[in-house]
C-alpha cells in the first residue's frame, strides 16, 4: 500500500493517479473531506487526518508500506517557517515505528540550512531528519515550479504584464508539477535498495521574459515581464496577505534563488513539459472555468 501525504495537491494528485493507473493500492491522506468522493471514485482509499494529530497520522501510516511525503505548505498569512516546522515534527514522529519501508520525500532546489529562508530551510531539515532515520529514503528536489506563474495569468490577460522578483533575463530551471509527480511515482515503485538524492527540472531553462512571451503567444497580445526591485519585495508580499515573517522568509529565499546561491545538479532528471505547453494548458483551463 502506498500512502500519500499531500495526495490531493498539484504534485501529489499526479503521484496518486499515476500509481492507480499502474494498478497500485493507494491511500491518500487529506485534511479536506470534500476530496473523499472524487478519489474513492478513482478507487483510492482516503483518510481524513490533520497532520498535527500525530497519533492519528501514525495509525494511518501503519497501514502502508511506502510513503510519499509532502510537508504541507503553511498559509502565507502565518509565520510559515514556524508552522511548517510544526507539521514536519508531527509527521516525523508519526513515521517513527510505523513500519513504513521506504519514503519518497519532495524537497526543492537550493534546500539549505537557515531559519528564515522560506521552504529552503524547513525542507533541508526534513532531508536531514529522514536520512537519520532507520528507513530507506529517496529525496526528490524539484526545480522552480511552473505553477508559481499561475497567479500571473490575471495581470497578463488584463494588463499585458507579468510581475517578477527576478531579473527579466535570468534563466532558471523550472518544472511542471506533472513531471514532478510522474518522477515521484517512479521513485515510489523502485526497490527498497534504490535511494538517494534526485533532481528534476523541465526540458530547458526559462526566464521571466520567456514566461511573458508564453502568455503573449497564447493570449495573442503583447505581454511584458516587469521586475519588482528587491527593496519593494516585502511591501509587495504583505500587500497581498503575507505576514511579516512570511514575507521576510520569501524574500530571503528569492534572493538565494536569483543569485543561484546553491549547488546545481550536473545530471538532473528532465521532464518533457515545456513552459509554453504548461502556460497553454493553464490558459485553456482558465477559459473553460
Residues sharing a CB contact under 8 Å with residue 288, sequence separation 6 or more, in sequence order: none
**Which of 148, 130, 105, 140 is closest to 6 using CA atoms?**
105
Cβ contact 51:83 at 8 Å: no
The reported pLDDT for the residue numbered 20 is 94
What is residue 260's predicted lDDT score, i.e. its pLDDT? 87
Burial level of 77, CB count in 10 A (0-12/13-18/19+)? exposed
What pLDDT shows up at residue 9? 86
Greatest alpha-carbon pair distance for the chain in Å reads 56
pLDDT at residue 288 in the model: 40
Predicted model pTM: 0.92
Task: Centre a 10 Å sphere on the Cβ of residue 263 and count the other Cβ atoms it contains.
Answer: 10
**DSSP conformation class of 78:** S
Q: How far apart are CA 38 and CA 113, in angstroms?
A: 38
pLDDT one digit per residue (tens) for the chain, 289 residues: 999 998 888 999 999 999 999 999 999 998 878 878 888 888 999 999 999 999 999 999 999 999 999 999 999 999 999 999 999 999 999 999 999 999 999 999 999 998 888 889 999 999 999 999 989 999 999 999 999 999 999 999 999 999 999 999 999 999 999 999 999 999 999 999 999 999 999 999 999 999 999 999 999 999 999 999 999 999 999 999 999 999 999 999 999 999 988 888 989 999 999 999 999 999 887 654 4
Give me the domains of the chain, ranges plus CATH numbers. Answer: 2-144+174-201+264-271 (3.40.50.720)
List, in sequence order, every beta strand (DSSP E) within the chain.
Answer: 2-5, 26-30, 45-48, 66-69, 102-108, 137-142, 144-145, 161-164, 172-175, 196-201, 205-206, 224-227, 269-270
Cβ atoms of 172 and 157 closer than 8 Å: no
Amino acid at each position: 500500500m502506498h500512502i500519500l501525504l499531500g495526495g490531493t495537491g498539484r504534485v501529489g494528485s499526479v503521484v496518486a493517479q499515476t500509481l492507480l493507473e499502474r494498478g497500485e493500492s493507494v491511500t491518500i491522506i487529506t485534511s479536506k473531506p470534500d476530496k473523499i468522493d472524487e478519489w474513492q471514485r478513482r478507487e483510492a482509499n482516503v483518510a481524513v487526518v490533520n497532520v498535527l494529530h500525530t497519533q492519528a497520522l501514525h495509525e494511518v501510516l501503519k497501514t502502508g508500506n511506502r510513503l510519499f511525503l509532502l510537508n504541507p505548505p503553511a498559509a502565507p498569512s502565518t509565520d510559515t517557517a514556524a508552522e511548517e516546522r510544526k507539521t514536519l515534527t508531527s509527521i516525523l514522529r508519526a513515521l517513527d515505528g510505523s513500519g513504513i519501508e521506504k519514503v519518497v520525500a519532495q524537497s526543492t532546489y537550493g534546500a539549505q540550512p537557515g531559519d528564515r529562508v522560506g521552504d529552503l530551510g524547513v525542507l533541508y531539515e526534513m532531508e536531514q531528519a529522514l536520512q537519520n532515520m532507520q528507513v530507506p529514503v529517496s529525496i526528490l528536489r524539484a526545480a522552480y515550479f511552473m505553477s508559481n506563474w499561475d497567479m500571473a495569468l490575471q495581470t497578463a490577460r488584463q494588463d499585458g504584464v507579468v510581475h517578477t522578483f527576478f531579473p527579466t533575463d535570468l534563466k532558471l530551471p523550472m518544472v511542471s508539477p506533472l513531471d514532478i509527480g510522474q518522477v515521484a511515482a517512479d521513485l515510489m515503485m523502485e526497490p527498497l535498495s534504490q535511494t538517494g538524492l534526485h533532481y528534476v527540472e523541465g526540458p530547458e531553462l526559462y526566464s521571466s521574459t520567456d514566461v511573458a512571451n508564453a502568455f503573449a503567444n497564447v493570449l495573442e497580445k503583447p505581454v511584458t515581464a516587469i521586475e519588482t526591485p528587491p527593496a519593494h519585495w516585502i511591501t509587495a508580499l504583505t500587500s497581498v496577505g503575507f505576514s511579516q515573517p512570511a514575507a521576510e522568509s520569501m524574500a530571503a529565499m528569492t534572493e538565494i534563488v536569483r543569485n543561484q546561491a546553491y549547488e546545481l545538479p550536473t545530471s538532473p532528471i528532465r521532464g518533457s513539459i515545456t513552459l509554453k505547453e504548461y502556460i497553454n494548458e493553464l490558459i485553456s483551463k482558465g477559459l473553460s472555468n
